[in-house]
Structure 1
Amino acid sequence: MRKPRRTLITAIAALGALTSVAACGGGSDSAGSGSGSTGGTYTFWDPYPQFDASSAWGKLVAKCGTDAGVTVKRTAYDTTDLGNKALLAAQQGNAPDVMLVDNPVVSTLVEAGILNKTSDLGLDTASIQKNIIGAGTIDGASYGVPIGANTLALYYNKKVLSAAKVDPASVKDWASLTAALKKVRAAGKKGITFSAINTEEGSFQFLPWFWGAGGDLTKLNSAKGVAALTLWKDWVDEGYAPKDVLQNTQTTSWQEFATGEYAFGENGTWQLGNAEKAGFGYGVLSIPAQNGGSAPVPTGGEFVTVPVQKDTGRYDVSKKIVTCLTNSANLLATDTTLAYVAPTAAVQSEQVKADPALKPWIDAVASARGRTSGGLGTKYPVISQPMWTAVQSAVSGAKSPQEALDTAQSAAGKGTS
């Protein structure tokens, strides 16, 4: 068994593939004050700097602390910083009491030995959808409670498709989607926009096509993986997708779609609010698999976790805070605010009653996969980085799709061996 410090250093290196490495200050007062069931201050970290203390989310966090008989000191970090700060804080012995983290980071934190099992804390996850809890499950044990999930689909512009005489219902596989893009271009409009940037966002957006071809993340350079990468390259080469997909984040890709000039935009649940403000009629389609049907899509979203503490007497209150944040009433309220699909069928049903437009997203989440699921765990970041690098190489024309994925598989193999 590796020594704890070595484990943390290894985990930090792995996490660097998922998030940008940021310098960490000299620690925090995460241990707070007070121990046991009542009183004191408990620390809570989340990746929502856009929500201040006066927001619905900020108020809920504070209320959950009050209900548990304590004061919650909340600190919000950018998603790219939170994982590394968590690892470094644990190394320094001052991890927060409760922490909300992006789901692919959970396995890295578990490998570092800094998260408690939900079963050890007595947290009930029985009602959580299996594929959603799976993103935070390692060796059969879950290490957090998902607060919600999001994923990807294809937004489409009704006016653009109508002008090109394309029926959205005709888009059932890659061939019919490509045929639709050809018609759109012939009608003088733009085809599809997505993010192929050289970060985890690029991998996240590529996965539906990779999985939709039957690709296996442990065999990046299979014929199925090559087919997916060839599809994207051909779209750019034919002018069906813009060359700036290589620099597009999911945000800038959305901004392109929101101009009203594109027929399709691959993006997520979190853009629903912006879609309503776009000023044109839109619809949502599942991303098609190569030969028909819906492609598996990756689950996004965060898990509420309880880091390991020297003072185990703090866990009872931490459990109360987690339970409060993830009860059905609060999931319904916060997932609406965060544009998430709830992780339980009961709350999903209430969401659809309130907003029927969520139905295709709930269907997509139901068939989604965790990026670290299937036993990949901390191997995923080591695979993802070569994969997004291959996308960049092939789409830019620097290498053929086969050559790019051969290089990626070689790098991933060395990193996971």
Structure 2
Amino acid sequence: MQFSAEPRPSRPSLRRSARILRTVAVTAAVATAALGLAACSGGGSGGSGSGSSKTITVWSYFSAAETAQRGLMSTYAKTFEKNHPGYTVDNVYVPYDQIQQKTINAARAHKGPDIVVFNGAEAGTYALGDTLLPIDKYLSKFKDASQISKSVIHKVDGTTYAVQGYVNLLGLWYNADLMKKVGISAPPTSMSELEADMAKAKAAGYAGITVCGLPQGQGEWQAYPWLTDAGFSYKNPSAADLTKAFTTVQNWVNKGWLSKEAVTWDQTVPFQKWEAGGTLFAENGNWQIGGAKTDAKFQYGVAPLPLGAHGKTYLGGEGQGIGKYSKNPDMAWKYLAETFLSKQGQLDSLKAVGSIPSRADAAADPSIASDPMLKPFADSIKEFGANYPDDAVKPASIADLQLAVGQTWSGVIGGTTSPKDAADQLAAKLKGYVN
């Protein structure tokens, strides 16, 4: 096992919660060029840049500052090397803002890593850039395939290019002390209960909820559960459903349950606001568990978002794929199967970085089922989990769609547009972004 670093300047370390939600950093010109590259032949041939077919090269954007993730990658390397004497895993760090273009450039030269670990939301861009090897033949023979949630399998035009060995998702954090103070016995399980609880908090002088309202991809990520709860889907973008959702959230602002300041909050800030103790609920993710233990000075808990029959929550996290020009794709698949996709590997990830397993049996492990902070997230995967990005979105349009929805969501929260006008304009725009 070895760690290598690309000889390029590193970006400052970002919190994983922000990193997994960054919008797809690719221009229309790059996407168009990638579409042309997708027609090229190849796969499993050419140089991988690993130097030896006995070396499995893994590219990721986990910097030295991200010690937990680096530790997990070391654990995975040791597992694979123990299982396959004579093989070496070379973990190569490539800065987040460079890994996508570097992978595309390497593929153009018929080179690249054996394994690439990337923002799962960008799987379509990597596939269209002709950087990933289709893995359907491997998945079809994988004995544990039935354990993997369909919502973490990334396909383009029916072909599978990547999977996610773990997920990050949103839940409803609640201040248990405030609940008791205002007479709430249990966290809400429906929209009507959520709003009734926020009304009680407001009447007692507290805020109702914090959310991210940034006019970009993070905003779209946090808007998605409430949009789908209102019946909206990207497959059939209805202005009427959007109007219902936007009316709901604007009503939260008008009644003083949600601050207009949310339009300036990324996902870190609203959780910090909630941790200060004056807000009943926070829509935020499992990656905040460690911070809450340190910073929250009150009794708290987390529950699944109170969504109805149509409600969904994105399953974010890193995707893993086999490089199109891996020298040894069969061994690259074995690496994935024995690390990211194995039950033990996913429990290793949970222990190291707090990510929720994407395998059903790992998510049902007693270490999760008995943990009141983890179980709600694991339950949400099965009940509400949705592919990130949504399957209906054209891969080349992901960045544009996330920006459009985030901007509209922000405008509604900020009160700069009416719910109906916002819905009409967004619905018309979305038709060009979805299949």
Q: Report the TM-score, using the length of structure 1 for normalisation.
A: 0.83
Cross-structure match for 1:365:
381
Matched, 1:128 2:147: yes
Whether the 8 Å CA contact 1:220–1:405 is kept in 2: the answer is: no
The aligned counterpart of 2:368 is 352
What does residue 281 of structure 1 align with?
Answer: 299
Of the structure 1 ranges 149-158 and 172-181, higher mean CA displacement relative to structure 2 is found in: 172-181
Structure 2: stretches of 5+ with no match in the other structure? 1-26, 36-46
In structure 1, distance between residues paired with 2:200 and 2:66: 43
CA positional deviation for 1:371? 3.0
Q: Bigger CA drift: 98-107 or 84-93? A: 84-93
1:75-90 pair list within 5 angstroms: 75-77=92-94, 79=96, 81-90=98-107
Mapped to 1, the partners of 2:359 and 2:292 lie a distance apart of 25
Q: 2:219 aligns with which of 202, 213, 216?
A: 202
CA distance in 2, matches of 1:236, 1:115: 44
2:332 to 305, 311, 318: 318
In the aligned structure 2, how far is the partner of 1:402 from the partner of 1:81? 40
Aligned mates of 1:362, 1:59 — CA distance in 2: 25
1:402 matched to which residue of 2?
420
Q: Which residue of 2 aligns with 1:70?
A: 87
CA contact (8 A) 2:168 2:287 kept: yes
1:192 counterpart = 2:209:
yes
Pick aligned residue for 2:401 from 371, 376, 383 = 383
Comparing 80-89 with 181-190, greater Cα deviation is found at 80-89
Indicate the larger mover: 215-224 or 264-273: 215-224
Distance 1:13 1:392 in 2: 31
Any idea what SS the aligned residue of 1:249 has? coil
Which residue of structure 1 lines up, in the alignment, with residue 352 of structure 2?
337
Q: What is the root-mean-square deviation in Å for CA atoms of aligned residues?
A: 2.9
Q: Following the alignment from structure 1 to structure 2, what is the Cα–Cα distance between the partners of residues 118 and 319?
A: 8
TM-score, normalised by the number of residues in structure 2: 0.80
CA gap of 1:243–1:219, structure 2 versus 1, over 3 A, is same
Shift of 1:53: 9.0
What CA distance in whole angstroms lies between the structure 1 residues aligned with 2:301 and 2:378? 15
How many equivalent residue pairs? Answer: 388
User: Post-superposition shift, 1:335?
Assistant: 2.4
Instruction: Rate the CA distance shift 1:229–1:13 in 2: closer, same or farther, 3 A.
Output: farther
Match of 1:9 in 2: 30
1:326-365 deviations in whole A, cap 9, x for unaligned? 2222211112322222121221222325634322111101
The 8 Å contact of residues 390 and 401 in structure 1, kept in 2 or not, is answered as no
- Separation in 2, partners of 1:236, 1:151: 24
- The structure-2 alpha-carbon separation of the partners of 1:89 and 1:337, relative to structure 1 and needing over 3 Å to count, comes to same
Q: Deviations over 1:196-252 (max 9, x none)?
A: 112211111100000111102245452111111222222123221122211111111
- Counterparts of 1:15-414 in structure 2, within 5 Å, are 31-35=49-53, 38=54, 41-49=55-63, 50-52=65-67, 55-64=70-79, 66-67=81-82, 68=84, 69-77=86-94, 79=96, 81-121=98-138, 124=142, 126-134=145-153, 136-169=154-187, 171-277=188-294, 278-289=296-307, 292=308, 295-309=311-325, 313-326=327-340, 327-350=342-365, 351-353=367-369, 355-367=371-383, 368-378=385-395, 379-414=397-432
Alignment check: 8 A CA contact 2:263 2:410 kept: yes
Q: Deviations over 1:41-87 (max 9, x none)?
A: 44312243343499531422432463443333323456555434433
Residue 103 of structure 1 aligns to which amino acid in structure 2? G
Gaps of 5+ in 1: 1-5, 15-28
Please give the secondary structure, in 1, of the residue aligned with 2:251.
helix
Q: In the TM superposition, what is the alpha-carbon distance from 1:160 to its structure 2 partner?
A: 1.3
In 2, Cα distance between equivalents of 1:348 and 1:230: 36
Query: Is the 1:226–1:402 Cα contact (8 Å) retained in structure 2?
Result: yes
Alpha carbons of structure 1 residues 200 and 54: separation in structure 2 relative to 1, 3 Å = closer
